[in-house]
Structure 1
Amino acid sequence: MLDAVTDSTTDDTAAQAVQVARLYYHQGLTTDAIARELGLSRPKVSRLLTLARRTGLVEIRIHDPQAQPQSLEAQLSARYPFLRPQVVRVPPGSPENIWLDRVAVAAARLLEQLLRPGQTVGLAWGTTLDAVSRALTPRPITNLQVVQLNGSANALDFMSGFVTDTITRFAANYGARAHLFPVPTFFDDPATREAMWRERSVRHVLDLQARADVLLYSVGAAAALVPSHVYAAGYLDETDEAQLRAQGVAGDIATVFFRADGSFHGLPINARSSGPDLALTRQVTHAVCVVSGLGKVQALRAALAGELMNTLVVDEVTARALLS
């Protein structure tokens, strides 16, 4: 008569089920080999394995690398119901520069799906958008306008063409008209900014920003492995950076800074910034934030707390860190 395993599992039976499960799953023994080693019948070994699975002594998980991004997207959507996430798969163990390349390509493809004739696209320059601009596929779009969201009057960037090259590369790719914003990134005095904002040429750019159908930007963070351009290119001095830390600033979008809870009003530096009111990110149809790198997780989490985007393109490693 064969031994039977009942549902009323005794301690001895549970211990035996664990022993069989270890031999089967950890050591790779067959049911025949386990039966011989433990002096059991083969049917009993099979029933013990079934018992181990049914009672939770053994959990079987399938890690499908192809499905991982979809799982992360579902988790992001559940946590942030306002968000349309796109998680980009990256090679296991790859460095962050590879993540950025993959994310840039994904963002360029998404942009192709979103853009339509007659639209206005607002772009916040930076390291991430420069990478996206290099991943674009040429495609003429009728009456498309590309407008710069924040100023870039920095002597180094005037010489290198970093900012203007990024904006004009986007415009040239789609046969669009580029509207540059040749004002200081940060004014020394808020009153100077207010006076400049009354100039007709500046008001033209501000009006285009306000009418944008699509915004494309990243989050800036001082802690990123590849530092955000506003930190790396000398736009902020040591006093500015110390004040931002003291005020609990988590990051910036288009050189407008926000706190860990996503709020941005009342920060003194924003009165001097050339970037737009971040409420704009809550008003446009497509506010697309492109993020890659673990150093940006804190800034991204803060921006999501403030609902400062409705679309996110992010690599899977950064997404996993964000969710954890």
Structure 2
Amino acid sequence: MPAPRSQDVLVRAARLYYLEDRSQGEIAKTLGLSRSSVSRILSAAREQGVVEVRIHDPGLVGHVADLEEGLVAAFGVKTAFVVPRPRGRSPIEVVARAAAHIFEERYPRITSFGFSWGAMIDRFAGFVDVEPINAALRICPLVGGLPSDAGPAGNTSLEVLAEKLRALSFRFESPSVVESPETWSALMKESGIRAAIERAAAVDLAFVGIGSFGVHNSRRVVAAMHLSESEAALLSRQAPAGDICGRFYDVTGRPLGLPTSQRVIGISEEQLASIRGVVGLAAGVEKALGVVGALRTGTLDEIVVDEDLARAVLNLAGAE
């Protein structure tokens, strides 16, 4: 019985075969082994988990069917895309790539596209790679500029997509979050802002990032509101779970009212729910609470998440 091979040999052979597309004969010469030995080494690499083989659907990064079925059954969304656990890449990258594939497949058939802001949307826009064949497409943000966004008025992703797709684009020249109800009231009366929100509400397809309260952008959004001590206490009593486009909700999906409802400049929950196709994007298990609440808001038609987040969401919903 041949002696077991070291992990180094398994990894080296696997790299040559799967990543460099070398034949087993070439690998045998490189490693000074027989062809039959190389075959056994590659089999051992699969058996020991050095190599993981996944079957990917054409046009999609890959998916985990049982978790997709679980999300659809538990929350009633039309479609769930669960991307396999990434190897050597961040969850946000694999989800953003999957979102880009989904968009590319639908791109020829839509006339208007809207999106929120945040790291996920930025990555998604960067990954889109499609021939600009849809001259009728209009694109626009669903909300004003992210508080921490260094781009002009938060329209960085808009500019990236518009250039790639050669599409007609509309900017949203407003901050997404303001510091007082008085400022919010004044801005919501501006004709340019009202027009931007109306355009956003009329899109065919929307991609939105899902936030989880106290994590990443959701934390920055609340900080930008400059809530008073009493306002912060009121928000805390409402048990916020997450947000979409800066609109907060609890774990049951119930939209929260004051104080946050009069701080956000952008599409409302009702307007978002009226869009024909809304796809929620999230990555990382820290987003689980926000995703559970988001799936219960009734605003999402589809969801794209990574495998670990999907399991965390189903576990959390089951534990409740």
TM-score by length of 2: 0.71
2:214 paired with 1:211? no
Give how far 1:80 is off.
Answer: 2.1
Contact 2:79 2:303 in 1 (8 A): yes
Contact 2:279 2:300 in 1 (8 A): yes
Partner of 1:228: 217
Partner of 2:65: 70
Give how far 1:230 is off.
Answer: 5.9
Shift in alpha-carbon separation, 1:199–1:236, aligned structure 2, 3 A: closer
Shift in alpha-carbon separation, 1:126–1:230, aligned structure 2, 3 A: farther
Of 123, 142, 155, 2:135 maps to 142
| Seq. identity, % | 24
Give how far 1:139 is off.
Answer: 2.6
> Cα RMSD over matched residues?
2.8
Q: Deviations over 1:119-158 (max 9, x none)?
A: 221111111101111111043121211111111274x635
Give how far 1:175 is off.
Answer: 1.1
Give how far 1:294 is off.
Answer: 0.7
Match for 1:302: what amino acid?
Answer: G
Of 253, 270, 279, 1:262 maps to 253
Cα distance in 2 for residues equivalent to 1:183 and 1:161: 10
Structure 1, unpaired ranges of 5+: 1-62
Give how far 1:205 is off.
Answer: 0.9
* Structure 1, 251-260 or 262-271: larger mean CA deviation: 262-271
Partner of 1:119: 111
Shift in alpha-carbon separation, 1:204–1:293, aligned structure 2, 3 A: same
Q: Deviations over 1:74-126 (max 9, x none)?
A: 1112112233101101236x5xx611111111000101122246622111111
Shift in alpha-carbon separation, 1:210–1:162, aligned structure 2, 3 A: closer
Shift in alpha-carbon separation, 1:64–1:125, aligned structure 2, 3 A: same
Match for 2:68: what amino acid?
Answer: E
Of 299, 302, 317, 2:293 maps to 302
Residues matched between the structures, number:
255
Of 123, 126, 131, 1:131 maps to 123
Partner of 2:86: 91
Where has structure 1 moved over 6 Å in runs of 4 or more? none
Contact 2:247 2:261 in 1 (8 A): yes
Structure 2, unpaired ranges of 5+: 1-51, 56-61, 316-320
Cα distance in 1 for residues equivalent to 2:105 and 2:191: 34
2:167 paired with 1:176? yes
Match for 2:297: what amino acid?
Answer: G
TM-score by length of 1: 0.70
